[in-house]
Chain A
Amino acid sequence: MKREWLQHTILRVASSLAPYDQRGEWLEQWRSELWYVPPSDATRFCLGAFRDAIWLRRNSMGTVKQPRMHLESPLSCLVFLAAVGAVGFLIAVCLSGPLKQISLYSDLRPRDLPAAFIAMLTFSCLLLPGTLAVWRSPANRHSTTWKSKLRRGVFLALKIALVQPIMLCGLMFWILIAPVGIFAPLGMAASLIAALRWVITDQQRRCPVCLRLLTHPVRIGAPSKTFLEWYGAESTCSRGHGLMHVSEISGSYSKKAQWVRLGESWSGLFSTRQS
């Protein structure tokens, strides 16, 4: 009885990795199969469920639309970050009081927070080249106007600046939890890298022309038919500016994500298209 409890717990925990809309059937299948497995093999059998759930999550395109924040447009993304950043800054001001009680930060005053913000921004700028080095920008066979490049650069810079108050608030919480030792600087560096990673990933998922998030991902090709072909995902700009091809494997012919610009002849398919 005790072992059955363990196996069902393993399956329940593994099911949390499966996509929400397929979790019920996934769990039902594993429980059904478990019934036929001899008790001596049952635990090892259940441990395989983690790999299966991870595979399902990685290969599921999300047939059911999940509730998500509407940050498709660049403006709504910046407004959201600014709002969260403002709240984060206010919390940081409130936290400066409790922090004063820690001897190391006894001289901290709310007016020092802008300086801390600038220090974090500088630190982020120092980390940025390293983070950008691992970022593979999409290959674009079409020339991009300097206006478009400038807009993308400004958008990236604004996002980096707006995540700083959020990070500052998080850092102050962290210092309150672990005021001494090397954990504070390590935690700060790790969270800044994670924040920069999000900023860049978000940038990669946007249309290079209008900066809106790419939508309608579809799977292209099959892993078992890869000879001189690619397989992966294709996303579309909702304004019809183009398609982004992201290969699942890195071959000599598909090292980077490919941006394919759609011409004017496609405009009829996208009613809201704007140049």
Chain B
Amino acid sequence: MAEAPRLSHSSAMILQAIAAGHIYGYTVMEVTGLPSGTVYPALRRMERDQLIRSHWERQSIADAEQRPPRKYYKLTRSGETTLEASRKRYPLLAKLASTEEVQDA
């Protein structure tokens, strides 16, 4: 089995934020503290590397809430494996935006 690819700390933080439920661009920025010029290219790069996948929210849902539709991101199986490897490499990563925190909010 191929070894999971290594990620930079910023990319690992973004992956952790998505895994924790911050599934669109601006919330990833908020929780990681990274600027937009870092987050959006990183999201594209990780999508290209098939660590995450994206989909647009249905227009009807956005219309009902009177806001523009959002592009949501989700971890792939490969992304989950990579995140697990990154958590071992960066032990403090798990403390960033833990899943419980998001669920409580």
Q: Is B89 an interface residue (CB 8 A)?
A: no
CA distance A49 to B35 in the complex (A): 10
B79: min CB distance to chain A, Å: 11
- In Å, the complex CA distance between A55 and B42 comes to 9
Known A31-B68, A32-B70; contact A37-B26, beta-carbon cutoff 8 A: yes
B36 & A223 in contact (Cβ 8 Å cutoff):
no
On whether the beta carbons of A55 and B44 are closer than 8 Å, the reply is yes
Number of interface residues of A (CB under 8 A): 24
| Residue numbers in A under 8 Å from B11 (CB-CB) | 224
Chain A residue at smallest Cβ distance from B41: A55
State the interface size on chain B (CB cutoff 8 A): 26
Q: Is B33 an interface residue (CB 8 A)?
A: no
Q: Which chain A residues border B88 with CB–CB below 8 Å? A: none
A51 and B41 contact, Cβ closer than 8 Å, known pairs A32-B70, A33-B26, A222-B5? yes
A48 touches B25 (CB 8 A): no
* Given A44-B35, A48-B35, A48-B37, also A32-B5 (CB < 8 A): no
Binding site for A on B (CB under 8 A): 5-7, 11, 24-26, 29, 35-41, 44-45, 48-49, 51, 67-71, 82
The 6 closest A-B pairs by CB, nearest first: A48-B36, A48-B37, A51-B37, A224-B5, A55-B41, A52-B40
